[in-house]
Structure 1
Amino acid sequence: MDLESMHNIVADITFSDDVPEPKVKGVRSGYAPHHKFSEVDWLASGFHEYQDEILHFPGETIEAKIRFVSWEHLRDFVKPGVSFEVRELHRVVGTGLVKEVSG
């Protein structure tokens, strides 16, 4: 899937290495975790696209273009400077900071 022209936001994502269950197997473009924004009471699924195709591991920070499945419900809450958790359901695997909103 080419998300280049379809992303909703650009964010800096930091994969945590200091959480109870870090994402030790790594992630690459196409990773689709949940995102928890403080102003929203639910988890938002989104597809990540990175600038490369290599695996990224805990402790790394990488820029991601993210396309949300439920963008129409999120768009009013997501602005540049807003931070969020990157999760796999209850498991926090990282954090993000919105840099740009595209649509």
Structure 2
Amino acid sequence: MSIRLKRSAKRLVRDIKMDQKITTYTTLWNLVEADENDHELKDMARLLLEAMSDWPRAEQNNIANFLNEFKGYFGQALTIKMIQAKKFDGHNAWQLEAGAAIQEILDIAAKHGRESDFDKIIAHILNHYNEVFRAVDFIAELSYRTSAQGGRSTPAKSGYRPAVKFDFDEMQTSGQQTFIGKDTVFPGETVDAKIKIIASDYFAGCLTEGMIFEFKEGPKVIGTGIIKQIINDKLELNKL
């Protein structure tokens, strides 16, 4: 492959990574659970998840499908009055439960003067967590080797991108490390970090919590990691 084609391929992979967005209940739930801050968007995201879990359909994981069905039932230009207009008919208890959670979202948005348009409110929620999602596919505990063990001789800063290698495959991928609670990690230290891999499509359905991996500079292994929590649900084994 020519240098130009290699660069084009790398650019394509980078663009795919940046376009990655939340599409499922599971990924959004994982991101909300990992969010250590308290804020109104988190409260509204929890209510959206509650509404999705209450909605009476066989496959509830796709966010867009839920929103389309919900608006199809209650009305497209959704308001609190439209939700309240639906009365119990003996068969729609779960729809009304979901409606109550969405009504709370609209109420929170109205109280904070953020927005009255339901679609824009949902966009605010998802856009916030999409920003978080751009930096994390899974959370791992990283153990950096000392220089005597063959590791780095200098510290690594948060945002560092070594190669990631899983035992089950020869494929390596760039894995950005965003350290949790630290800006810098020295050789020999251990740290929890958010990991974002470029080749997420390649590793779809392959990873499990507790899985060990290496991170490398060229052929040199500079540390090992263990997956503590998978955020991107498409990576999880048997989630395809």
TM-score (norm 2): 0.40
Shift of 1:41: 1.3
Q: Any residues of structure 2 matched to 1:17-36 within 5 Å, and which?
A: 17=146, 18-20=148-150, 22-36=151-165
- For residue 47 of structure 1, what is the amino acid of its counterpart? Q
Equivalent residue number for residue 132 of structure 2? 4
1:78 alignment counterpart: 207
What secondary structure, in the 3-state scheme, does the structure 1 residue paired with 2:193 have? strand
Give the Å deviation of 1:19: 2.2
Shift in Å, 1:75: 2.7
Q: From the two aligned structures, give the one with the greater helix fraction.
A: 2
The 8 Å contact of residues 13 and 61 in structure 1, kept in 2 or not, is answered as: yes
Q: 2:174 aligns with which of 35, 45, 49?
A: 45
Supply the distance in 2 between the matched residues of 1:82 and 1:75 (Cα, whole angstroms).
Answer: 14
Matched with 2:193 is 64
Displacement of 1:52 in angstroms is 4.0
Aligned-pair distance for 1:55?
A: 2.0
CA distance in 2, matches of 1:84, 1:74: 13
Deviation of 1:78 (Å): 1.5
* Contact 1:33/1:87 (<8 A) preserved: yes
Cα distance in 2, alignment partners of residues 77 and 39 from structure 1: 9
Which has the greater radius of gyration?
2
Name the structure where strand makes up a greater proportion of residues: 1
CA distance in structure 1 between the partners assigned to 2:193 and 2:182 by the alignment: 12
For this pair of structures, how many residues does the alignment match? 100
| Contact 1:29 1:52 survives alignment (8 Å) | no
Q: Which amino acid aligns with 1:44?
A: T
CA RMSD of aligned residues (A): 1.5
Unaligned runs of 5+ in 2: 1-130, 233-240
Identity of aligned residues (%): 26
| 2:70 aligned partner | none
Runs (4+) of structure 1 moved beyond 4 Å? none
Counterpart CA distance in 2 for 1:63 and 1:51 is 6
TM-score (norm 1): 0.88
